[in-house]
Amino acid sequence: MARSNEDSSQHRKLALIIGNSNYSRPDNRLSHSNENARDLSNLLKSIGFITTLVTNLHKHEMTTCIIDFSKTIEDGDLVFFYVCGHACHVEGDNYLIPIGDDQIETQQDIEDFAINCDRLLQRLVEKNQSYVTILIFDCSKPYLLKRTSKSNCK
């Protein structure tokens, strides 16, 4: 395990916590995402994180929240990003699925209506290249596309 000689208490600790559970299709709804997000947010606050907790976000809200959060990051911050909800892997790329997903009918719609994880990571680390950025994607059961009864997402 790699260790740093730096004391993490010398760094500002920022966290963005997202819980998405209220998906359009009943088969895709999740029962514990928001509770998991709240519990983690409370835990991180108890150890000194400045946390932003948001739940049940549509794509525009999710994108705006991520952009706004990334604007608060300064080089040397300890950055923590957590999302509990659905994700999908399509043609080599990973995507987070926001609520308001009724427009996602096929895999081809994922790119337009979901959040690209590579772009998300790039946005979070671009201003914090000298310290730590932690991303946790707590994504459960397969995401079911509208036009099929089984998931084509991996």
CATH number of this structure's domain 10-139, picked from the four choices 3.40.1280.10, 3.40.50.1460, 3.40.50.10860, 3.40.140.10: 3.40.50.1460
> What pTM did the predictor assign?
0.88
120 membership: H or E segment, kind and range: helix 117-125
Task: Spell out the per-residue pLDDT of the chain, length 154, in tens.
Answer: 344 455 556 889 999 999 999 999 899 999 999 999 999 999 999 999 999 999 999 999 999 999 999 999 999 999 999 999 999 999 999 999 999 999 999 888 999 999 999 999 999 999 888 899 999 999 976 888 876 555 556 5
- Say which residues have a Cβ less than 8 Å from residue 6's Cβ, sequence separation at least 6: 131
Query: Which residues face 82 on adjacent strands?
Result: 17, 136
- Helix, strand, coil percentages, rounded to 5, for the chain: 35, 25, 40
Domain regions of the chain by residue span: 10-139
